């Protein structure tokens, strides 16, 4: 999941289409030369880029409208990325991978101010990946085997997942995670921006249950 890599840029705008493709070191060495050659140089900043969802914004219709994705990705997700970059501009925390940043800023349950933005950036990246156009088929292979082992059947799992989502009070997420210690799948509900990465679990799929994720399309619930 290398969506949000740190990128070093002197002064140009981050090109979102190249967000995943530039490596940290090549840009850094290029800029080191610049720093010594020119006295007037803008500060080198580590930047997180907003990655595109792996499909066009209307690809999930009719279940999730283009308008929802335009706002959810284009405004809300982008907002978290921009806020995070602003926060990190003067912080010793930049230069981490997103996962490292999330675990560090979660601070064992006493989150630092950057946590919320970092986690929401990652959560949304993961959420776009959890969905696909023309999806809805049953899982297969190892995932299905494990689901059947841990939930009895796929439809049991789905019922439990939906029930968990309906029981969420306030804003939050529902996750299917692989619990690393117990070596089994589990459905986990988190509040606001909490991400199961902080407990060392491995998310498999997620569902955004903040109202902004469904309100335009489904109104209430």
Q: How far apart are the first and last CA of the chain?
A: 31
* Residue 76 found at the interface with another protein (CB under 8 A): yes
* Residue 165 found at the interface with another protein (CB under 8 A): no
Q: Write out the two tokens for 181.
A: 């210690």
Is residue 206 a contact partner of residue 130, using CB atoms and an 8 Å limit?
A: yes
User: Which of the residues 100 through 139 are near another protein (CB under 8 A)?
Assistant: 116
**Smallest gap, in angstroms, from Cβ of residue 88 to another protein?**
18
Q: Which is nearer to another protein, 186 or 192 (CB)?
A: 192
Q: Which is nearer to another protein, 13 or 167 (CB)?
A: 167
Q: Which is nearer to another protein, 116 or 146 (CB)?
A: 116
Q: Is 72 annotated as a binding residue?
A: yes
Q: Which is nearer to another protein, 74 or 135 (CB)?
A: 74
Phi-psi region of 219 (alpha: psi -120 to 50; beta: other; left: phi over 0): left
CA distances from 124 to 52, 78, 85, 128, 165 (A): 11, 10, 16, 6, 17
d(CA 137, CA 124): 22
Query: Contacting another protein (CB under 8 A), which of 143, 148, 216, 217?
Result: 216
d(CA 200, CA 59): 32
The residue assigned the tokens 């491995």 is: 202
Q: Which is nearer to another protein, 8 or 124 (CB)?
A: 124
Q: Is 31 annotated as a binding residue?
A: no
User: Which of the residues 171 through 200 are near another protein (CB under 8 A)?
Assistant: 171-172, 191-193
**Smallest gap, in angstroms, from Cβ of residue 139 to another protein?**
30
Closest CA to 120 of 80, 83, 88, 93: 80
Is residue 104 a contact partner of residue 138, using CB atoms and an 8 Å limit?
A: no
Q: Which residues are annotated as a binding site for Mn(2+)?
A: 72, 124, 208, 212
Q: Which residue ranges make up the site for another protein (CB under 8 A)?
A: 71, 75-76, 79, 116, 169-172, 191-193, 210-212, 215-216, 219-221
């Amino acid at each position: 999941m290398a969506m949000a890599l740190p990128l070093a840029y002197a002064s140009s705008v981050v090109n979102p289409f190249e967000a995943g493709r530039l490596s940290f070191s090549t840009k850094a060495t290029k800029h080191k030369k610049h720093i010594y050659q020119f006295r007037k140089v803008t500060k080198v900043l580590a930047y997180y880029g907003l990655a595109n969802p792996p499909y066009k914004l209307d690809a999930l219709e009719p279940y999730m409208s283009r308008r929802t994705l335009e706002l959810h990705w284009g405004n809300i997700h982008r907002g978290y990325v921009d806020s995070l970059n602003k926060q990190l501009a003067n912080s010793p925390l930049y230069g981490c991978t997103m996962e490292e940043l999330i675990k560090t800023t979660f601070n064992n349950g006493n989150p630092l101010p950057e946590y919320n933005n970092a986690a929401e950036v990652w959560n949304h990246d993961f959420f776009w990946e959890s969905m696909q156009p023309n999806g809805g088929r049953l899982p297969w292979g190892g995932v299905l085997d494990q689901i059947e082992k841990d939930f009895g059947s796929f439809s049991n799992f789905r019922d439990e997942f939906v029930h968990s989502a309906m029981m969420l009070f306030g804003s939050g997420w529902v996750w299917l995670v692989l619990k690393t210690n117990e070596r089994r799948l589990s459905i986990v509900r988190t509040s606001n921006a909490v991400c199961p990465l902080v407990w060392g679990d491995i998310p498999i799929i997620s569902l955004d249950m903040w109202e902004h994720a469904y309100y335009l399309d489904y109104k209430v619930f």
